[in-house]
């Protein structure tokens, strides 16, 4: 079975920031797909309909790992530091995902 490629809208630093500081529970990728059907993890996306994990490309995995790292460390950082890293994450954000 092959997965469909879904093109993401540009992931904005503001969306990353809101997720990192806890203003939203949905990561920037989940904000663009139906969170009732799909759940985003560091290396995959879980499809609640098929009950299967869809493995993602390296670009996705690297972005998600860096996003998790920032979210875990954000409590010890000031807002300008967080936003600066969000700008960097915006640059490396995935352009497509597999669904």
pLDDT at 3 (0 to 100): 82
In tens, the pLDDT along 12-57 reads 999 999 999 999 999 999 999 998 999 999 999 999 999 999 999 9
Contact criterion met (CB below 8 Å) for 8 and 90: no
Cα dist. 12→19, 27, 29, 52, 91 in Å? Answer: 11, 11, 10, 28, 9
Cα gap 91→72, rounded to integer Å: 20
Angle formed by the axes of helices 79-92 and 13-20, nearest 10°: 130
pLDDT at 93 (0 to 100): 98
* Mean pLDDT, residues 74-91: 97
- Of 63 and 3, the one with more pLDDT: 63
Task: Map out the domains of the chain as residue ranges.
Answer: 5-98
């Amino acid at each position: 079975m092959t997965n469909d490629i879904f093109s993401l809208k540009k992931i904005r630093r503001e969306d990353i920031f809101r997720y990192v500081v806890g203003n939203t529970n949905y990561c920037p990728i989940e904000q663009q797909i139906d969170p009732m059907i799909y759940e985003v993890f560091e290396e995959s996306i879980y499809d609640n309909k098929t009950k299967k994990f869809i493995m993602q490309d390296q670009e996705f995995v690297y972005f998600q790992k860096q996003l998790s790292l920032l979210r875990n460390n954000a409590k010890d950082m000031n807002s300008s530091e967080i936003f600066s890293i969000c700008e960097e994450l915006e640059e490396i954000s995935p352009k497509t995902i597999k669904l």
